[in-house]
Amino acid sequence: MTELVAPVASVQERFALAKTASRAIGALSGAQKTSVLNAIADALVDATAQIVAANAEDLRRGVSNGLATGLLDRLRLDEARVEGLASAVREVAVLPDPVGEVVRGHRSPTGVQIEQVRVPFGVIGAIYEARPNVTVDIAAIALRSGNAVVLRGGTDAEASNKVLVGVMRDTLSAHGIDPEAIQTIDEFGRDGARELMRARGLVDVLVPRGSAALIRTVLTESTVPVIETGSGVVHIFLDESARLDWARDIVVNAKVQRPSVCNAVETLLVHRAAAARLLPEVISSLQAQGVTVHGDETVAALCSGIRPVTQEDFETEYLDLEIAVRVVDDLDAALEHIRTYSTGHTESIVTSDAASADRFLAEVDSAVVMANASTRFTDGAEFGFGAEVGISTQKLHARGPMGLRELTSTKWLARGAGQVRL
């Protein structure tokens, strides 16, 4: 394996190398990007043993440092997950290339042809925690959208990220592509992260992924434009007309399938008129999967083994096998609760009433709003993007799962034939 990075003295030089490499990446054809991404996928599979061994080192350190169960799950890479990383890269490789796509255009009255086209940002910076899959996902999407990437993956996944970045850089080199298009600044620690947040002019956009505290720090300290990703205090509302089988299956899937991720449900709201019909089976099904339930007095009266719920529970992204449950009077009360506690990520209603579904979809102001589906579907792969950069909870430029188009900007092209303005 070649050196991970060029032997440069400062993080600023690392940024400058990425900036230079971004120009070459932006000029690659769609076919060239497809070829190198498929090669990266193959290389990841070939390096599975090395990746899993490095990840085991990170996991041992995480357990020793008391890393939370949810974070350990996010950190873990086994053979199947490495294959999943490679599959995501292959999916990105065959997606339509956004670079050069004409967004809109027209011929002006003077005869000048005007077009708005998609172009790469240039250099994408990413700061994230204990998520080695993000290392590969962001690098793949950045390359496919014509961007270089600078990664700060955190100390918890340092050994895993070192190997993953090395594999990808080696593959770029083998294809005659500047490996400085994929940079890691993990070795610079928190100082490197601070420099990345201040690298305006060298880094074009910054994406934070992780805890609410991490995202808040990046938003307040960065001089580089930030695409905000948010924590997931995710809600499901069981309406009066909800089918019991749908309610049970959707809630259990949304909480249990992978509780450590941001699209897992954290708060369940139940219409008072349906509480006695729905709650006993839904709650017992959750508890059978090891879920700790924090519920209000109505929940406790209908179900056993309930812990008292607090306001703090409604504000908490558990990322674990825990859930807050509240009985509300009606849809209006559910909407008010969501407005109060939601982080703007994903909310879902389970209902058989089309009018209630339409109202919920229209009035809930989150990045993704669903009817009769598990919140686990808020995901780049499920939305057809291959991998994803993150789930944006902001309202400018990108919102929801971010794929290739969200890592492009636009510019205007004007083609004339000697026209001058009168």
Residue type, 388: E
CATH of the domain spanning 234-377: 3.40.309.10
Domain boundaries, the chain: 11-229, 234-377
> pLDDT of the chain along its 422 residues, tens only?
544 544 566 899 999 999 999 999 999 999 999 999 999 999 999 999 999 999 999 999 999 999 888 788 889 999 999 999 999 999 999 999 999 999 999 999 999 999 999 999 999 999 998 889 999 999 999 999 999 999 999 889 999 999 999 999 999 999 999 999 999 999 999 999 999 999 999 999 999 987 778 888 998 999 999 988 877 899 999 999 999 999 999 999 999 999 988 899 999 999 999 999 999 999 999 999 999 999 999 999 999 999 999 999 999 999 899 999 999 999 999 999 999 999 999 999 999 999 999 999 999 999 999 999 999 999 888 888 767 778 888 877 788 888 888 899 999 999 999 999 98
Q: pLDDT per residue over 183-229, tens digit each?
A: 999 999 999 999 999 999 999 999 998 777 888 899 899 999 998 88
CATH number of 11-229: 3.40.605.10
Q: What is the pLDDT of residues 66-77, one digit of tens each?
A: 988 878 888 999
377, with CB counted inside 10 A (0-12, 13-18, 19+), is middle
